[in-house]
């Protein structure tokens, strides 16, 4: 079990921002990644549809004997984590809780902002969980649906992105938040633009590092950390791989070394 791969999935390839940090934190672990590129984005979909799709992704990885599952997608973690936990015989972690814990630990004042897809924001999960950790923190949220295609198109620093971001972030700026959670796999790609608009005094917290650290802690507790083995990385998508190679590089920071293949899910 210890040397089995870690299973990581996302609605698309944005979850590679999280894989990148997991590789840094756990360099000997093998990874199987699945991105549902045929059906991305999940952000605008209903909770029922997201849960149905997400369970199919989890089943694919569970059949490949993964030792744990990482839900590397904010929208799935926010809406359907419980459903994945129910069907999984192995430990499951999502990105929402580790990100909240990191934000609450480092917060200087009492005002947190959260941005994410419509699915994530409408779930109310961030307000709910931050409230349970610390009642005195005020949480303001905002959906930024166009950030996903802008990040995928590599337009993070484009003037169109700045104009759109100014509109999305205006309300949060007025609230004088001191910490902003980037509650979406894609938003780290837009971090420089978001920081410029929000100002230096606002601390940005994304999901990648906190999730990788939480995974390391979980595997350590369960004595499932692999040591001194050369890892194997396999990447699967549900639509033609050549369509995502360039975009994947944007999130992963390097190429996927020819290890990218298309799979067929039963309902696709």
CB 12 → ligand DGL: shortest distance, Å? 6
- Among the listed residues 92, 184, 204, 215, the single catalytic one is 184
Burial of 103 (0-12, 13-18, 19+ CB in 10 A): buried
Catalytic residue among 16, 73, 76, 102: 73
Question: Which residue lies nearer to ligand DGL by CB, 61 or 224?
Answer: 61
Judged by CB under 6 A, the residue of 17, 30, 37, 74 near ligand DGL is 74
Tokens of 3: 């040397």
Q: Please, which of residues 108-147 interact with ligand DGL by CB under 6 A? A: 116-117, 120
DSSP, collapsed to helix, strand or coil, labels residue 219 as helix
Q: How far is the CB of 135 from ligand DGL (least distance, A)?
A: 26
Dig out the tokens for 161 from the structure: 């992105």
Is residue 184 within the footprint of ligand DGL (CB under 6 A)? yes
Question: Does residue 188 interact with ligand DGL by CB under 6 A?
Answer: no
Q: What distance in Å separates the CA atoms of residue 147 and residue 203, rounded to the nearest whole number?
A: 19
Which positions from 36 to 65 touch ligand DGL by CB under 6 A, shown as an x/- string?
A: ----xxxx----------------------
Given the complex with ligand DGL, which of 42 and 126 has the nearer CB atom?
A: 42
Q: Which residues of 145-176 are buried (b: 16+ CB within 10 A; e: fewer)?
A: bebbebbbeebbeeeebbebbeebbeebeeee
Q: How far is CA 173 from CA 65, 84, 98, 126, 180, in A?
A: 46, 35, 24, 18, 10
CB of 88 or CB of 99, closer to ligand DGL = 99
Structure-token pair, residue 201: 């005094």
Among 11, 30, 122, 161, binds ligand DGL (CB under 6 A): 11
Closer to ligand DGL by Cβ: residue 7 or 14: 14
- Closest distance between ligand DGL and the C-beta of residue 76, in Å? 7
Please state the closest distance from residue 201 (CB atom) to ligand DGL, in A. Answer: 26
- DSSP per residue, 27-81: TT--EEEEE-TTT---TTS-HHHHHHHHHHHHHHHHTTT-SEEEE--HHHHHHHH
Q: Tokens 């050549």 sit at which residue?
A: 242
| Alpha-carbon span 113 to 110, nearest angstrom | 10
Q: How far apart are CA 88 and CA 143, in angstroms?
A: 30
User: Does residue 144 have an active-site annotation?
Assistant: no
Size of the site for ligand DGL (CB under 6 A): 18
- For strands 233-237 and 260-262, give the pairing: parallel
Among 148, 177, 205, 237, binds ligand DGL (CB under 6 A): 148
Under the binding rule (CB under 6 A), the answer on residue 75 touching ligand DGL is yes
- Is residue 98 near ligand DGL by the rule CB under 6 A? no
- Whole-angstrom distance, CA of residue 237 vs CA of residue 176: 40
> Which residues are designated catalytic?
73, 184
Chain residues in the site for ligand DGL (CB under 6 A): 10-12, 14, 40-43, 73-75, 116-117, 120, 148, 184-186
């Amino acid at each position: 079990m210890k040397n089995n791969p870690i299973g990581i999935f996302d609605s698309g390839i944005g979850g590679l921002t999280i894989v990148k940090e997991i590789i840094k934190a756990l360099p000997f672990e093998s990874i199987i990644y699945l991105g549902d590129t045929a059906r991305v984005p999940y952000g605008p979909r209903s909770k029922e549809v997201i849960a149905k799709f997400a369970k199919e992704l989890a089943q694919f990885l569970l059949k490949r004997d993964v030792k744990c599952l990482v839900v590397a997608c904010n929208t799935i973690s926010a809406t359907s984590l419980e459903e994945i936990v129910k069907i999984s015989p192995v430990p499951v972690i999502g990105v929402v809780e580790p990100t909240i814990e990191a934000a609450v630990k480092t917060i200087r004042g009492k005002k947190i902002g959260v941005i994410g897809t419509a699915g994530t924001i409408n779930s109310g999960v961030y307000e709910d969980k931050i409230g349970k950790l610390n009642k005195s923190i005020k949480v303001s949220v905002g959906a930024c649906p166009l950030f996903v295609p802008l990040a995928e198109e590599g337009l993070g620093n484009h003037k169109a992105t700045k104009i759109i971001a100014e509109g999305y972030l205006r309300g949060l700026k007025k609230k004088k938040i001191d910490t902003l959670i980037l509650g979406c796999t894609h938003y780290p790609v837009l971090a420089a633009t978001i920081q410029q608009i929000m100002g230096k005094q606002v601390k940005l917290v994304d999901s990648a590092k906190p999730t990788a650290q939480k995974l390391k802690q979980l595997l350590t507790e369960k004595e499932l950390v692999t040591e001194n083995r050369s890892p194997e990385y396999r990447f699967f998508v549900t639509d033609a791989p050549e369509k995502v190679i360039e975009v994947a590089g944007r999130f992963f920071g390097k190429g996927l070394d020819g290890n990218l293949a298309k799979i067929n899910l039963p309902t696709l």
